[in-house]
Amino acid sequence: MLKRRTIRVECIGDSFERGYTFGRFSDQVSVNDRLWQIASPSLAANLLMSTNNLPVRFRGGNQGFPISRLTDAGLPAALAAYCATWNMDARDWMLLEDAGDHIGNPDTYQAAVEAVIDAVAPVRCAVITAFDYPVGIGADPNYQWDRIIPGFGRSMNAAKIAAAASRGALLIDENAAMDAYRSTTLATDLLDPMQHIDGTIDGIHAGPWGTLKEVSVRLTALGLAGSVRSIEALTSIANVDFTRLQCGATVWNGTRAISYCSALFPAAEVP
């Protein structure tokens, strides 16, 4: 029987995992900035894990195993070696994310993702779909993961879904979740979860609310959301720095920011 220890959740991905909440990468932001704690999916997830004393730690971006694409040459072998170095096993997770400019070949891409899943066994894998919006670099067809690729009859996201299904891996459909969330927040408050703290939107990288939505979706998929009983550290940050988290909202204050946090993590006690 495996002994209880801290579970590792390795977020294997590109600039999404490095975090671009500020409109620049999380490792380019001072750790003394309160909002640095939500500057990437892994940082925000770890804030919640620490608050709730959960034996789970997320790693991503430059704090983990950064990649350019899941199709990078030699990646399966490199990740297998990484798992061995850190003694990762069936208690741990690898979340496989890819959202940058893609290779435009769903068949090759599916095979590459399957090869990664095979290589890291028995570590559990989850495949994450990519969201994008036709603004900034998101208007570039090479960054559009839902676009049907000519000659293949399916999208790059469809290739991700097929890879997860073929290997029995967990599918985390952040694409559908973010589409629904963004539609709701824009309709309700004109708040755009894709807007960064510096006010920019590039159509690819999530802003603070989009990043927190990613965390909410991931924790739910991994069966951890119900254990997030306290979001006190998060709501404290949101209340103090609410002006920097407005992200286009028309009516906004600390109370409203706290309510957004509570909606994302409904198992937590109301602050």
DSSP string, 113-137: HHHHHHHHTTSEEEEE-----SSGG
Name the nearest CA neighbour of 208 among 40, 61, 28.
40
Q: How confident is the model over 49-55, as a mean pLDDT?
A: 98
* Per-residue confidence (pLDDT) for residue 61, from 0 to 100: 86
Q: What confidence category does residue 2 fall into, taking pLDDT thresholds of 50, 70 and 90?
A: low
The residue ranking higher by pLDDT, 270 or 124, is 124
Asked if 217 and 172 count as a contact pair (C-beta separation under 8 A), the reply is yes
Q: How confident is the model over 61-87, as a mean pLDDT?
A: 93
CA-CA distance, 139 to 207, in Å (whole number)? 17
Asked if 80 and 28 count as a contact pair (C-beta separation under 8 A), the reply is no
Residue 233 has pLDDT above 70, yes or no: yes
Residue type at 195 in one-letter notation: Q
Q: Is 98 exposed, middle or buried (0-12, 13-18, 19+ CB in 10 A)?
A: buried
**What DSSP element (H or E) covers 8?**
strand 7-12
Q: What confidence category does residue 3 fall into, taking pLDDT thresholds of 50, 70 and 90?
A: low
The residue ranking higher by pLDDT, 1 or 216, is 216
The residue ranking higher by pLDDT, 269 or 80, is 80
Q: Find the angle CA(99)-CA(220)-CA(58) to the nearest 5 degrees.
A: 60
CATH homologous superfamily of domain 7-264? SGNH hydrolase (3.40.50.1110)
Residue 271 has pLDDT above 80, yes or no: no
> Structural domain boundaries of the chain?
7-264
Residue 1 has pLDDT above 60, yes or no: no
The tokens describing 55, both together, are: 């034996």
CA-CA distance, 75 to 22, in Å (whole number)? 29
pLDDT digits (tens, 9 = 90+) for 91-146: 999 999 999 889 999 999 999 999 999 999 999 999 999 999 999 999 999 999 99
The tokens describing 41, both together, are: 């999916």
Helix residue ranges, H only, the chain = 15-18, 41-51, 75-85, 106-120, 156-167, 174-189, 208-221, 232-240, 254-264
CA-CA distance, 192 to 187, in Å (whole number)? 10
* Per-residue confidence (pLDDT) for residue 62, from 0 to 100: 84
CA-CA distance, 21 to 190, in Å (whole number)? 18
Identify the three-state secondary structure at position 40: coil
Percentage of the chain surpassing pLDDT 90?
A: 92
